[in-house]
Protein backbone atom coordinates (compact mmCIF):
# COMPACT_ATOMS: atom_id res chain seq x y z
CA UNK A 1 0.00 0.00 0.00
CA UNK A 2 1.35 3.40 -1.02
CA UNK A 3 -0.02 6.85 -0.28
CA UNK A 4 -0.75 9.05 -3.27
CA UNK A 5 0.74 12.54 -2.84
CA UNK A 6 -2.04 15.12 -2.98
CA UNK A 7 -1.25 18.49 -4.48
CA UNK A 8 -4.08 20.16 -2.57
CA UNK A 9 -2.39 19.15 0.70
CA UNK A 10 1.06 20.24 -0.45
CA UNK A 11 2.37 16.69 -0.05
CA UNK A 12 5.91 15.77 -1.13
CA UNK A 13 7.02 12.65 0.70
CA UNK A 14 10.61 12.54 1.92
CA UNK A 15 12.30 9.37 0.68
CA UNK A 16 15.94 10.04 1.65
CA UNK A 17 16.44 8.12 4.89
CA UNK A 18 19.72 9.85 5.69
CA UNK A 19 17.94 13.22 5.66
CA UNK A 20 15.11 11.78 7.79
CA UNK A 21 17.58 10.50 10.36
CA UNK A 22 19.37 13.85 10.51
CA UNK A 23 16.09 15.70 11.11
CA UNK A 24 15.17 13.42 14.00
CA UNK A 25 18.67 13.64 15.48
CA UNK A 26 18.43 17.46 15.41
CA UNK A 27 15.63 17.32 17.98
CA UNK A 28 17.30 17.69 21.35
CA UNK A 29 14.22 16.51 23.22
CA UNK A 30 14.08 19.27 25.82
CA UNK A 31 10.76 17.76 26.88
CA UNK A 32 9.56 14.18 26.54
CA UNK A 33 6.32 15.18 24.81
CA UNK A 34 6.73 15.52 21.02
CA UNK A 35 4.22 16.31 18.28
CA UNK A 36 4.92 15.30 14.69
CA UNK A 37 2.92 17.36 12.20
CA UNK A 38 2.04 15.68 8.91
CA UNK A 39 3.82 12.29 9.23
CA UNK A 40 2.67 11.16 5.77
CA UNK A 41 4.12 7.69 5.23
CA UNK A 42 6.13 7.78 8.45
CA UNK A 43 9.67 8.43 7.19
CA UNK A 44 10.42 10.54 10.29
CA UNK A 45 8.07 8.54 12.48
CA UNK A 46 10.13 5.35 12.15
CA UNK A 47 13.13 7.07 13.73
CA UNK A 48 11.12 9.03 16.30
CA UNK A 49 9.61 5.78 17.59
CA UNK A 50 13.11 4.44 18.23
CA UNK A 51 13.90 7.29 20.60
CA UNK A 52 13.21 6.18 24.14
CA UNK A 53 13.52 9.73 25.49
CA UNK A 54 10.32 11.01 23.87
CA UNK A 55 6.59 10.35 24.02
CA UNK A 56 5.31 10.83 20.46
CA UNK A 57 1.92 11.99 19.21
CA UNK A 58 1.09 12.62 15.55
CA UNK A 59 -1.40 14.80 13.69
CA UNK A 60 -2.28 13.94 10.08
CA UNK A 61 -5.09 15.37 7.97
CA UNK A 62 -4.94 12.89 5.09
CA UNK A 63 -7.10 9.82 5.72
CA UNK A 64 -5.04 7.71 3.32
CA UNK A 65 -1.88 8.49 5.27
CA UNK A 66 -3.66 7.67 8.54
CA UNK A 67 -4.65 4.25 7.20
CA UNK A 68 -1.08 3.64 6.04
CA UNK A 69 0.41 4.57 9.40
CA UNK A 70 -2.04 2.45 11.35
CA UNK A 71 -1.23 -0.51 9.11
CA UNK A 72 2.57 -0.17 9.09
CA UNK A 73 3.29 1.08 12.60
CA UNK A 74 1.89 -1.06 15.42
CA UNK A 75 0.86 0.94 18.46
CA UNK A 76 -0.32 4.01 16.54
CA UNK A 77 -3.76 3.80 18.15
CA UNK A 78 -4.04 6.56 20.73
CA UNK A 79 -0.99 8.37 19.35
CA UNK A 80 -2.26 9.30 15.89
CA UNK A 81 -4.94 11.95 15.43
CA UNK A 82 -6.64 12.57 12.11
CA UNK A 83 -7.12 16.31 12.24
CA UNK A 84 -6.17 19.64 10.72
CA UNK A 85 -3.34 20.94 12.92
CA UNK A 86 -4.37 24.54 12.23
CA UNK A 87 -7.84 23.89 13.71
CA UNK A 88 -6.76 21.50 16.45
CA UNK A 89 -7.19 22.32 20.15
CA UNK A 90 -3.64 21.35 21.02
CA UNK A 91 -4.29 21.62 24.76
CA UNK A 92 -6.38 18.45 24.54
CA UNK A 93 -3.29 16.56 23.34
CA UNK A 94 -0.70 18.18 25.57
CA UNK A 95 -1.58 19.67 28.96
CA UNK A 96 2.06 20.73 29.41
CA UNK A 97 5.16 21.53 27.33
CA UNK A 98 5.84 19.74 24.05
CA UNK A 99 8.26 19.95 21.13
CA UNK A 100 7.25 20.04 17.47
CA UNK A 101 8.84 18.22 14.53
CA UNK A 102 7.78 17.57 10.97
CA UNK A 103 8.10 18.01 7.25
CA UNK A 104 5.65 20.90 7.14
CA UNK A 105 3.34 21.15 4.10
CA UNK A 106 4.89 24.04 2.20
CA UNK A 107 1.56 25.64 1.33
CA UNK A 108 0.67 26.22 5.02
CA UNK A 109 4.08 26.46 6.70
CA UNK A 110 3.66 30.14 7.59
CA UNK A 111 0.27 29.41 9.19
CA UNK A 112 1.86 26.60 11.20
CA UNK A 113 4.48 29.01 12.55
CA UNK A 114 1.82 31.53 13.54
CA UNK A 115 0.01 28.79 15.47
CA UNK A 116 3.29 27.77 17.14
CA UNK A 117 3.73 31.39 18.22
CA UNK A 118 0.31 31.30 19.87
CA UNK A 119 1.58 28.46 22.09
CA UNK A 120 5.19 29.65 22.36
CA UNK A 121 5.34 29.39 26.16
CA UNK A 122 4.73 25.63 25.95
CA UNK A 123 6.90 24.86 22.89
CA UNK A 124 10.62 24.93 23.77
CA UNK A 125 11.82 23.53 20.45
CA UNK A 126 10.77 23.09 16.82
CA UNK A 127 12.67 21.11 14.17
CA UNK A 128 11.17 21.19 10.71
CA UNK A 129 11.76 20.96 7.00
CA UNK A 130 10.23 23.76 4.95
CA UNK A 131 10.79 25.53 1.65
CA UNK A 132 14.35 26.83 1.54
CA UNK A 133 13.24 30.36 0.73
CA UNK A 134 11.03 30.44 3.82
CA UNK A 135 13.78 28.93 5.99
CA UNK A 136 16.24 31.61 4.87
CA UNK A 137 13.66 34.32 5.55
CA UNK A 138 12.98 33.06 9.07
CA UNK A 139 16.66 32.72 9.98
CA UNK A 140 17.80 35.97 8.32
CA UNK A 141 18.79 39.05 10.28
CA UNK A 142 17.93 42.72 9.66
CA UNK A 143 19.23 44.38 6.52
CA UNK A 144 18.33 41.54 4.17
CA UNK A 145 15.60 41.72 1.54
CA UNK A 146 14.33 38.32 2.73
CA UNK A 147 13.98 39.51 6.35
CA UNK A 148 10.29 39.95 7.06
CA UNK A 149 7.29 39.52 9.34
CA UNK A 150 7.96 35.91 10.34
CA UNK A 151 11.65 36.70 10.89
CA UNK A 152 10.85 39.32 13.52
CA UNK A 153 7.92 37.57 15.22
CA UNK A 154 9.76 34.25 15.54
CA UNK A 155 13.15 35.73 16.46
CA UNK A 156 11.49 37.68 19.26
CA UNK A 157 10.88 34.38 21.06
CA UNK A 158 13.20 31.79 19.48
CA UNK A 159 16.86 31.34 18.61
CA UNK A 160 16.83 30.06 15.03
CA UNK A 161 19.41 27.87 13.30
CA UNK A 162 19.50 27.07 9.60
CA UNK A 163 20.76 23.47 9.80
CA UNK A 164 21.08 22.19 6.24
CA UNK A 165 19.63 22.33 2.73
CA UNK A 166 17.81 19.45 1.02
CA UNK A 167 17.60 18.97 -2.74
CA UNK A 168 14.36 18.15 -4.55
CA UNK A 169 15.64 14.65 -5.38
CA UNK A 170 15.10 13.61 -1.76
CA UNK A 171 11.32 13.63 -2.29
CA UNK A 172 8.60 11.83 -4.20
CA UNK A 173 7.24 13.59 -6.12
CA UNK A 174 10.13 16.10 -6.32
CA UNK A 175 8.99 19.62 -5.42
CA UNK A 176 9.77 22.49 -7.77
CA UNK A 177 11.58 24.29 -4.94
CA UNK A 178 14.57 23.53 -2.74
CA UNK A 179 14.05 22.65 0.92
CA UNK A 180 15.86 23.25 4.20
CA UNK A 181 15.80 22.11 7.81
CA UNK A 182 15.77 24.66 10.62
CA UNK A 183 15.68 24.44 14.40
CA UNK A 184 13.93 26.91 16.70
CA UNK A 185 14.81 26.91 20.38
CA UNK A 186 12.96 29.09 22.85
CA UNK A 187 15.08 31.97 24.10
CA UNK A 188 14.99 33.36 27.62
CA UNK A 189 12.50 36.11 26.88
CA UNK A 190 9.39 35.96 29.06
CA UNK A 191 7.82 39.23 27.92
CA UNK A 192 8.47 41.83 25.25
CA UNK A 193 8.33 44.88 27.47
CA UNK A 194 5.65 46.35 25.22
CA UNK A 195 2.07 45.60 24.19
CA UNK A 196 2.40 42.28 22.33
CA UNK A 197 -0.69 42.77 20.18
CA UNK A 198 0.48 46.22 19.10
CA UNK A 199 3.97 44.81 18.45
CA UNK A 200 2.53 42.31 15.96
CA UNK A 201 0.48 45.03 14.31
CA UNK A 202 3.49 47.35 14.00
CA UNK A 203 5.65 44.59 12.47
CA UNK A 204 2.98 43.48 10.00
CA UNK A 205 2.05 47.04 9.00
CA UNK A 206 5.70 48.03 8.51
CA UNK A 207 6.51 45.05 6.30
CA UNK A 208 3.26 45.10 4.33
CA UNK A 209 4.60 48.28 2.75
CA UNK A 210 8.26 47.46 3.07
CA UNK A 211 9.34 49.75 0.21
CA UNK A 212 8.09 52.77 2.12
CA UNK A 213 9.86 54.43 5.01
CA UNK A 214 8.39 53.74 8.43
CA UNK A 215 7.03 57.29 8.51
CA UNK A 216 4.74 56.47 5.59
CA UNK A 217 4.18 52.76 6.19
CA UNK A 218 3.09 53.28 9.79
CA UNK A 219 0.98 56.38 9.15
CA UNK A 220 -2.29 54.57 10.02
CA UNK A 221 -0.87 53.68 13.46
CA UNK A 222 0.63 57.05 14.41
CA UNK A 223 -1.36 58.83 17.14
CA UNK A 224 -2.67 62.28 16.29
CA UNK A 225 0.08 64.85 16.77
CA UNK A 226 2.78 62.18 16.99
CA UNK A 227 6.28 63.52 16.32
CA UNK A 228 7.78 61.28 13.62
CA UNK A 229 10.89 63.39 13.10
CA UNK A 230 13.18 60.80 14.71
CA UNK A 231 15.66 59.38 12.12
CA UNK A 232 14.31 55.86 12.76
CA UNK A 233 11.23 56.83 10.76
CA UNK A 234 13.46 57.44 7.72
CA UNK A 235 14.29 53.72 7.69
CA UNK A 236 12.45 50.85 6.04
CA UNK A 237 11.18 47.89 8.05
CA UNK A 238 13.96 45.54 6.94
CA UNK A 239 16.55 47.70 8.76
CA UNK A 240 15.02 47.22 12.22
CA UNK A 241 16.01 44.45 14.65
CA UNK A 242 13.58 42.81 17.06
CA UNK A 243 14.76 45.19 19.79
CA UNK A 244 14.20 48.17 17.47
CA UNK A 245 10.62 47.06 16.82
CA UNK A 246 10.02 46.65 20.55
CA UNK A 247 11.32 50.17 21.21
CA UNK A 248 9.22 51.53 18.35
CA UNK A 249 6.09 49.84 19.72
CA UNK A 250 6.68 51.39 23.13
CA UNK A 251 6.94 54.83 21.55
CA UNK A 252 3.71 54.39 19.58
CA UNK A 253 1.94 53.15 22.70
CA UNK A 254 2.85 56.41 24.40
Q: Quick one: CA torsion of 244, 241, 102, 97, rounded to 10 degrees?
A: -40
pLDDT in tens, 148-192: 999 999 999 999 999 999 999 998 778 888 999 999 999 999 999
Cβ within 8 Å of residue 116, ≥6 positions away: 100, 123, 126, 184
Q: How many CB atoms lie within 10 A of CB 96?
A: 9
pLDDT value at residue 3: 58
Burial class of 173 by CB neighbour count within 10 A (0 to 12, 13 to 18, 19+): exposed
* Successive 10-residue mean pLDDT values, the chain, 254 residues: 53 86 91 93 94 94 92 89 95 94 93 96 96 94 93 98 95 86 96 96 96 95 90 96 96 86
CATH number for the region 196-253 comes to 1.10.8.100
Q: How many CB atoms lie within 10 A of CB 151?
A: 23
Q: Quick one: CA torsion of 27, 170, 13, 174, rounded to 10 degrees?
A: 140
Q: Report helix, strand or coil for 159.
A: strand
Helices (H) and strands (E) in the chain, counts: 9, 9
* 196-253 shares the fold of 7-186: no
**End-to-end distance of the chain based on CA atoms, in angstroms?**
62
Domain ranges (residues) in the chain? 7-186, 196-253
CATH 3.40.50.150 fits 7-186, yes or no: yes
Can you list the positions of beta strands (E) in 71-167? Answer: 80-82, 99-103, 125-131, 158-166
Q: Are 239 and 245 in contact (CB under 8 A)?
A: no
| Cα 118 to Cα 153: distance, rounded to the nearest angstrom | 11
Q: What is the CA radius of gyration of the chain?
A: 20
pLDDT value at residue 19: 96
For 199-214, give the DSSP string.
HHHHHHHHHHTTTS-H
Amino acid sequence: MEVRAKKALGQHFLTDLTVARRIVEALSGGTTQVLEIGPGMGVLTQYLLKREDIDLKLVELDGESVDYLLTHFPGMQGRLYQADYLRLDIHKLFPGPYCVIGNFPYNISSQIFFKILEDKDRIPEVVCMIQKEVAERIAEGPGSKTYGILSVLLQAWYDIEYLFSVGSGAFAPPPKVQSAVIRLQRNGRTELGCDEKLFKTVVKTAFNQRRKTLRNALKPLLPEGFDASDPVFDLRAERLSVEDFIALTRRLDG
